[in-house]
Structure 1
Amino acid sequence: MKVPFNDLKRIHEPLKNRFHEILDQVLDNCSFIGDTNFSEEFSKYTGSMYGVSCNSGTDALYIAIKSLELKPNSKIAVPAISYAATAMAVVNSGHIPVFIDVDKETGLMLVESVKNVDCVIPVHLYGQCVNVSKLLDLNIPIIEDCAQAHGATINGKHVGTIGNIGCFSMYPGKNLGALGDAGVCITNNETLSIKMKQYASLGAQKDNRYNHITDGINSRMDGIQGLFLKEKLKHLDVWTKDRIRIGEIYSSSNNAVKRSTIGKDVYHVYYTLKDDRDDYIKYMNENGIQTGIHYPISLPELECFKEYTGSTICINAKEFCKKCVSLPLFPYMTTDEIDFTLKCHIDYHLRDF
């Protein structure tokens, strides 16, 4: 049996006719630029007051940081495990990333280690929730990186609404993905929402696009992506339930890792940790099961961040990145695919050497 790591065709196939209608609508109306109110609908979905659309999750982080108007070279805490965009947004906005080690089992930022910084970006990695409330006492701005956690909640509140700003990527492979690049910021602060819109529009005033009152970037969501996302948002809760169902089946194994128990885990990625990762991947691949690695190198070890690491040693992150392997998990996986993946995972530990 062949089990793909992800299969976007399965979630898009039932929506094809609607997508074609959307394309015709865009061509007829020439509504090529602007998110067609998707940011408003997404902010309502998350229970936040304001939504600001942009071109990508990376841009979302950048404009969120810029909107805080921190002093140049401010120190911003980021976890040692995330996609490079998290720390890259800090550098590109003129600040200094301070890498915080992670929990050795969940890969999530050790929030108790965040000290002496001007801002913090907790990452809800793999769909797990960081205990953001523990950061509130620091009295510094909090930007939640929710790129992998659409629909995740903590005590009934959507991630992204606990800190000052929540940043989401709508990259196609995300739990809620566009048919191209897209991103959104959410906030309950009107002033921040206005500033983010300005920074995403070359610093232009809301009602006068030729009056640029600050610096900024040109980061706009395409109209067609906004319409695609509005349609897909209607199905997000169903897809999330399916992800949770599959994740819990995997977690029933005696060999399951210990995921975060904070809030509702939406299982963007189901990972396992293997000392013999190469052998494990080879075994799974030989049995037709695709795997991934998220991520093979911790952020402080990347060449592009060397000048910021200094004597920083994130031991847990380094070891985690040596061991992590991601298993197939996506909506509409068949029972046979789920059972076979779990069987191979278990059989690997029972095989004769």
Structure 2
Amino acid sequence: MTAANQPVPFLDLAGVNGALRGDFELAYAEVLEHGRFINGPEVARFETEFADYCQAAACVGVGNGTDALELILAGLGIGPGDEVIVPANTFIATAEAVCYVGARPRFVDVLPDTLLLDPDAADAAVNKNTAAIIGVHLFGQMVDTERLLRVTAKHGLAFIEDAAQAHGARFAGQRAGGVGVAAGFSFYPGKNLGALGDGGAVVTQDAELADKIRRLADHGRSADSRFHHDLRGRNSRLDSVQAGALSLKLRGLDQGNKGRVRAWEQYLAELPEQVRPVTRHAKAEAVYHLAVVEVDNREKVCAGLTEAGIGWGLHYPVPCHLDAAYGDYRAESLPVAERAAERILSLPMSPTLSERQVARVCEVLRSVTE
């Protein structure tokens, strides 16, 4: 097989993590040495580092990104009788977290260019039961936080960031995680900042909220005694091994994001005209967790990519309001999200993606869309 015909993986996790293998082994050896697999010094160190990185006051490591959103909602006292506005175009975990605290998700449409939450649609969806808006920073691009903050201020609502796909992204100069009342991050291995297993974090400017979330995530323990529990909590903690790995990877996050930006810019220059890339807002500095485009006849395009050994994904082919598990919350027709779900396609994206690989993806797309 010639280099020009070699397969292109959707995500090169081996390449992303391979260069740090020796460092990971040393970090693991340190945890083995001190034996504090839960709440070891690595956790506090990473929490400080990541809060600083997000330009926020505090960070609480938790078990995963879904837990992070659920703990934020619980920490804010959102529950039965409340509604939370959620974009229909998001991973199901956003809605899942709302349901698990007993609140009701109110699905709204997205903008046709960025496929991110439409601030006007969110504004129109507010009612007497609305408690919060979750702005999902999807595909590596932040929502229009300026417009959404005006909406939440107008109605006295909490603005929560779902930043699971936006590590390092900015809007109007502000980093993801430092804008809303709190932000939930996922460190699933495929994220821009991915652990070597599951992990997540809550980032916030509110120290009191961070303290409450930390106690909720640790069985609701009292601040004064580990033997007393003044909150009904749960168990969701970031372990020491994952925290150590994340500290190592955080050092190279900005450089890795630059690699993603370079790959995206090459896509923009070389994609055939039949392939429409998702737009970036003028004030957004995206980090391209995913390289999302829209195509006609997606089934044919995907088959052609597969035949050529090109990895691909769909994010997301079923809008939340049409998913079977959320039939109780089915909204009126949300045409932008519904149309996009039939056309979106995620192309290979990694910090390690080479110019030759991007060119090959575009060449194959050209051949299957003509």
Task: Output the TM-score relative to the length of structure 2.
Answer: 0.92
CA contact (8 A) 1:36 1:223 kept: no
Structure 2 counterpart of 1:136, from 126, 149, 158 = 149
**TM-aligned CA deviation for residue 160 of structure 1:** 1.8
Structure 1 counterpart of 2:21, from 16, 19, 23 = 16
Letter in 2 for 1:94: G
Does 2:75 align with 1:67?
A: yes
Cα distance in 2 for partners of 1:97, 1:222 equals 30
Letter in 2 for 1:4: P
Letter in 1 for 2:351: P
Cα distance in 1 for partners of 2:238, 2:231 equals 20
Letter in 2 for 1:133: E
Number of residue pairs matched? 349
Identify the residue that residue 154 of structure 1 maps to in structure 2: 171
| 3-state SS in 1 of match to 2:136 | coil
**TM-aligned CA deviation for residue 106 of structure 1:** 2.1
Does 2:101 align with 1:96?
A: no
RMSD: 1.3
CA contact (8 A) 2:320 2:326 kept: yes
Identify the residue that residue 92 of structure 2 maps to in structure 1: 84
CA contact (8 A) 1:250 1:256 kept: no
| 3-state SS in 1 of match to 2:113 | coil
| 3-state SS in 1 of match to 2:285 | coil
Unaligned 5+ segments in structure 1 are none
Identify the residue that residue 318 of structure 2 maps to in structure 1: 297
Structure 2 counterpart of 1:287, from 270, 287, 308 = 308
In 2 relative to 1, CA 207–345 (structure 1 residues): closer, same or farther, beyond 3 Å? Answer: farther
Letter in 2 for 1:167: G
Does 2:204 align with 1:187?
A: yes
| 3-state SS in 2 of match to 1:204 | coil
Once the two structures are superposed, the pairs formed by residues 268-287 of structure 1 within 5 Å of their partners are: 268-287=289-308
Once the two structures are superposed, the pairs formed by residues 34-73 of structure 1 within 5 Å of their partners are: 34=39, 35-70=43-78, 72-73=80-81
In 2 relative to 1, CA 82–71 (structure 1 residues): closer, same or farther, beyond 3 Å? Answer: closer
Letter in 1 for 2:132: C
**TM-aligned CA deviation for residue 177 of structure 1:** 0.3
Question: Per-residue displacement from partner, 1:181-237 (whole Å, max 9, x unpaired)?
Answer: 000111111121111111111111234222111111100111000000000000101
Question: Per-residue displacement from partner, 1:309-352 (whole Å, max 9, x unpaired)?
Answer: 2x5221211111111111001011222211111222233333xx
Structure 2 counterpart of 1:318, from 302, 320, 338 = 338
% identical aligned pairs: 33
In 2 relative to 1, CA 13–71 (structure 1 residues): closer, same or farther, beyond 3 Å? Answer: closer
Identify the residue that residue 118 of structure 2 maps to in structure 1: 110
CA contact (8 A) 2:278 2:292 kept: no
Identify the residue that residue 216 of structure 2 maps to in structure 1: 199
Cα distance in 2 for partners of 1:241, 1:55 equals 28
**TM-aligned CA deviation for residue 175 of structure 1:** 0.3
**Farther-moved stretch of structure 1 (177-186 vs 315-324):** 315-324
CA contact (8 A) 2:266 2:355 kept: no
**TM-aligned CA deviation for residue 36 of structure 1:** 4.1
Cα distance in 2 for partners of 1:178, 1:162 equals 24
